[in-house]
Amino acid sequence: MVRFPRKKSIYIFVFLFSFLVWVGYETYDFSARKGCSPLDSDVIDLNISQSSPVSLKFIALGDTGTGDQDQKEIAQAVQKICTSEGCDFVLMLGDNFYPDGVDSTEDPFFKKIFEDIYSSTDKPFIAVLGNHDVRKNPLAQVRYSLKSSKWRMPNLSYQFQAGPARFFAINSNCHFLAWQELKNQISTDSSSEVPPWTFVFGHHPVYSSGTHGDSDLIMRWYWQQFLQNSIDFYLSGHDHELEHLQRPGETSDYVVSGAGGRHYRSPVERAKTRPSQIDSKFVYQDTGFAWFQVNNSQARMKFFNAEGQELYEFSKTK
């Protein structure tokens, strides 16, 4: 056995102790900045009212928070589809406020980029955080739920049930921590009757052929080992396109809806995109959003563009 002189042993101990303190501080600092520690309890309850007793309808759109004409056009199209097709709520898939999120619940962006733009859609907007949202004060978006009758973010991560579906909202800025928490939540769901459909929504994709592309190899391995067949749909933004992807032999479907205010309209942006490791069934690189209709036996999805025109339809049954 190697023996170190007493003085050298003290130096080694001090170094290791200092290193562990530094790692602990960096982990704590990362967790605090990214909103990785959910509140002990949700600040509001999500009580979803269905317009139809037999099916649930909702819209999913991400990367909305530009405040520009593209976001306004999508907001008008959302209202158009809510009127013609029906919708019970809107899922906001992160990057709700460009470029750096919000400072506090008094931040004028809440009115300018959210309340004013979606004023014609009288439905709950149920949100998660994107990478731009955590640059300032991520908790402000949770606390704003106490001020607004429309904005709904009960916690930094949370879950709820609506009709035939259960929803898990994750803060994907926390990467592995978010997926580990999701695994634990799904495996320990104590509901007396788990609904037939499971949706997970977060900002970062598992798979995508946008400019950010698929998640890294380790994250994909973890997903494939522990989550993939427990989830019917994983909804994300981050890449500014509409895309539906499937992995052969897997029951999960992946939907990217990150074109609520951003897009890959220019050839320069399109040249930066990269293919996914799994099958891309449809991709659209301009602004738009996804719409879902879910009942006990079928889930149906449509993509719409900024004019409210249907681009693509997909359905799966149980």
DSSP characters over 244-293: EEE-TT---EEEEE--SS----SHHHHTT----SSEEEEEE-SSEEEEEE
CA 92, 94, 99, 103 torsion-angle sign: positive
Are 278 and 141 in the same domain?
yes
Are 56 and 132 in the same domain?
yes
Q: Residue 316: exposed, middle, or buried by beta-carbon count in 10 A (0-12, 13-18, 19+)?
A: middle
Are 269 and 192 in the same domain?
yes
Quick one: pLDDT at residue 51? 87
Are 162 and 90 in the same domain?
yes
Query: Are 174 and 35 in contact, with CB atoms under 8 Å apart?
Result: yes
Are 218 and 71 in the same domain?
yes
What pTM did the predictor assign? 0.89
**Which pLDDT tens digit goes with each residue over 144-184?**
999 999 999 999 999 999 999 999 999 999 988 898 999 99
**Angle in degrees, CA 158, 164, 168, rounded to 5:** 15
Are 27 and 49 in the same domain?
no
The residue segments making up the domain with residue 11 are 1-34
Query: Are 259 and 230 in contact, with CB atoms under 8 Å apart?
Result: no
Q: Which residue has the tokens 């029951």?
A: 251
Quick one: pLDDT at residue 53? 84
Q: Which two tokens stand for residue 134?
A: 């955590």
DSSP string, 163-176: TTEEEEE--GGGTH
Distance of CA 98 to the CA centre of its chain: 16
Residues 6 or more apart whose Cβ sits within 8 Å of residue 191: 161, 166
**Number of separate domains in the chain:** 2
- State how far the Cα of 151 lies from the Cα of 283, in Å rounded to an integer: 29
- Please, which residues bridge with residue 89 across strands? 58
Are 176 and 303 in the same domain?
yes
**Angle in degrees, CA 229, 183, 134, rounded to 5:** 115
Are 29 and 71 in the same domain?
no
Three-class secondary structure of residue 134 per DSSP: helix
Are 64 and 121 in the same domain?
yes
Helix, strand, coil share (%) of the chain residues, nearest 5:
30, 25, 45
What length does the chain have? 318
Segments in the chain below pLDDT 50: 4, 12-31
Are 2 and 135 in the same domain?
no
Quick one: pLDDT at residue 8? 55
- State how far the Cα of 165 lies from the Cα of 305, in Å rounded to an integer: 25
Residues 6 or more apart whose Cβ sits within 8 Å of residue 176: 218, 219, 222
- State how far the Cα of 251 lies from the Cα of 73, in Å rounded to an integer: 34
Task: Supply the CATH number for residue 289's domain.
Answer: 3.60.21.10
DSSP string, 199-245: EEE-SS-SS--SSS-SPPHHHHHHHHHHTGGG-SEEEE-SSSSEEEE
Neighbouring CB atoms inside 10 A of 13's CB total 11
Are 10 and 136 in the same domain?
no
Are 100 and 62 in the same domain?
yes
